[in-house]
Structure 1
Amino acid sequence: MSVLVVIPARYASQRFPGKPLVTLTGPDGIAKSLVCRSWEAATGAPGVDRVVVATDDDRIAAAVRGFGGEVVMTSSGCRNGTERVAEAHAALGGGFEVVVNFQGDAPLTPPWFVPDLVAGLNADPDAGMATPVLRCDGAALNGFLEDRRAGRVGGTTAVFDDRRRALYFSKEVIPHTAGRYAPSDPTPVFHHVGVYAYRPQALAAYPGWTPGPLEGLEGLEQLRFLEHGHRVLCVEVEARGRAFWEVNNPEDVSRVEAMMAAAALT
């Protein structure tokens, strides 16, 4: 299947303005922008035909062109990354069988997640979109709970049915568990990884759907699919020993740099 990867990037983030241009220093001592590291992660995914960055900001566009990336300029009216990806796909003339939204704040996204999502869509023809979930171990779950106690918006969690169809996504830690888990213990909580693989028809329809109250409350774009009755497939993926985190807040920069060093990612 032909696969387009789009990295949506905007400058005016409420929690972290200018986030795509913040620098992350690798274990080799080289500093690169967040959007550059996300681009490198996306281009490392197998089975991808084209990677573009979609932005409405000239500063981000100049940075991407500076490291040799391809830019698609989109409007400032896009309300979230999925709308920006839809606009970029349309601007390129369509023609791809799968369009992947690869988050510009997640340079630790393992490259094998993309083919896993494509395979998931192939196996579930009724799903318009697929997204990866990782089972939390005790250390990851405790990190989520610590962020919430400190009032920080950290990672997103997901719950799904026995066919892996999503029931809900939340920035709270769901489902509730009273269990106590050692750092390496598996838990019943799944970390939602913000990568999305869309069928082109579902992606094109998305901007025309009215945002629902849950999307507004949680600030999670994928909830629009659920609020309009569309199936979202949760594909369980394996971390293969790699730690994963997004840059959601300024304090996440050092956390991601430490994870890059641990994985020897340059």
Structure 2
Amino acid sequence: MKTVIVIPARYASTRYPGKPLVELRGPDGISRTLIRRSWDAAQLVPGVEGVYVATDDDRIRAHAEGFGAQVIMTSEACENGTMRCAEAMENAGLDADLIINLQGDAPLTPPWFVFALMEAMATDRSAQMATPVIRVDAQTYANFRADRAAGRVGGTTAVFGAAMQALYFSKEVIPYLPDGTPPPLPVFHHVGVYAYRPAALRAYRNWQAGPLELNEGLEQLRFLENGTPILCVEVEAQGRVFWELNNPIDVGRIEAVLKGKP
């Protein structure tokens, strides 16, 4: 399948304005922006024919073109990354069997997370979209709980059925676990990557946001609210730490991972 990656990026983030241009210092002491590190992560995915940054902001466009990225301009009306990917596909006339949305706030995304989606979609031709989930360890679970206790919206959790079709996604920590639940914990972190068939993206542009999406602020719920199943693909960390940059506190967390620290 012909596959391209689109990295949606907007400057006017509600929780963290200017987030794509935030500097992250790596193990070599060199600082690179969040969008650059996300683009670098996308370059490591095998079998991809193109990587594009989709944005409505000239600052992001100029910066991305400066480090060699192909940029597709989209409108300010795109309320989320899925809508931006859909518009980018149409604006640029992307000819692909599969569009990967690698969100611009996830520079720690390992290439095998994305490749697992590509394989799953190649195997299940009926699937319209897929997204990775990873079982959380005790430390990640503690981070989730700490964020919620402090009133911060951190990562997203997912629950799914026996056929790996999503039942729900939430910014709350679901499912509920009694204190002292032994590992392995039945809690799955939703990784902010999506694989779509072009038809799914075109359909998305015609749907209005429903109450679940509006309350949770999670774009993928629009698919579930309109009867389109989401295939969850379990991936393995392989010793890597995965965390997204959702809040300013996450800068230190991600830099620590980049530097190989706990």
- Whether these two folds match at TM > 0.5 is yes
What is the one-letter code of the residue matched to 1:245? W
Deviation at 1:15, TM superposition (A): 0.6
Report the more deviating stretch, 164-173 or 202-211: 202-211
Match of 1:180 in 2: 180
Q: What is the SS of the residue equivalent to 1:106?
A: coil
What is the one-letter code of the residue matched to 2:170? S
Per-residue Cα deviation, 1:203-226 (whole angstroms, up to 9, x for no partner): 111111111000000000000000
Question: Does the CA contact (< 8 Å) of 1:127 and 1:230 recur in 2?
Answer: no
What is the one-letter code of the residue matched to 1:109? T
1:102-117 matches, within 5 Å, as 102-117=102-117
CA distance in 1: counterparts of 2:189 and 2:67, whole angstroms: 31
Per-residue Cα deviation, 1:157-204 (whole angstroms, up to 9, x for no partner): 00000000000000000000104257xx32000000000000111111
Matched, 1:74 2:74: yes
CA distance in 1: counterparts of 2:180 and 2:133, whole angstroms: 21
Matched, 1:238 2:236: yes
Q: Superposition RMSD on alpha carbons, in Å?
A: 1.3
Question: Does the CA contact (< 8 Å) of 1:144 and 1:155 recur in 2?
Answer: yes
Match of 1:20 in 2: 20
What is the one-letter code of the residue matched to 1:248? N
Match of 1:220 in 2: 218
* Structure 2 spans left out of the alignment, 5+ residues: none
What is the one-letter code of the residue matched to 2:39? W
Deviation at 1:71, TM superposition (A): 0.5
Match of 2:10 in 1: 10
What is the one-letter code of the residue matched to 2:79? R
Q: 1:195 aligns with which of 172, 193, 196?
A: 193
Q: Say how many residue pairs are matched.
A: 262
Matched, 1:97 2:82: no
Per-residue Cα deviation, 1:44-97 (whole angstroms, up to 9, x for no partner): 111111000000000000000111111000011111100100111112213201
CA distance in 2: counterparts of 1:226 and 1:42, whole angstroms: 27
Deviation at 1:122, TM superposition (A): 2.1
Match of 2:87 in 1: 87
Matched, 1:42 2:11: no
CA distance in 2: counterparts of 1:181 and 1:262, whole angstroms: 29
Deviation at 1:124, TM superposition (A): 2.4
Question: Does the CA contact (< 8 Å) of 1:126 and 1:231 recur in 2?
Answer: no
Question: Does the CA contact (< 8 Å) of 1:46 and 1:114 recur in 2?
Answer: no
Per-residue Cα deviation, 1:96-151 (whole angstroms, up to 9, x for no partner): 01000001000000011111001111222332110000001111111111111011
CA distance in 1: counterparts of 2:78 and 2:92, whole angstroms: 17
Deviation at 1:228, TM superposition (A): 0.2
What is the one-letter code of the residue matched to 2:184? P
TM-score when scaled to structure 1?
A: 0.96
CA distance in 1: counterparts of 2:254 and 2:184, whole angstroms: 22
Match of 1:58 in 2: 58
Question: Does the CA contact (< 8 Å) of 1:138 and 1:181 recur in 2?
Answer: no
CA distance in 2: counterparts of 1:139 and 1:26, whole angstroms: 22
Q: What is the SS of the residue equivalent to 2:153?
A: coil
Report the more deviating stretch, 200-209 or 157-166: 200-209
Question: Does the CA contact (< 8 Å) of 1:52 and 1:69 recur in 2?
Answer: yes
TM-score when scaled to structure 2?
A: 0.97
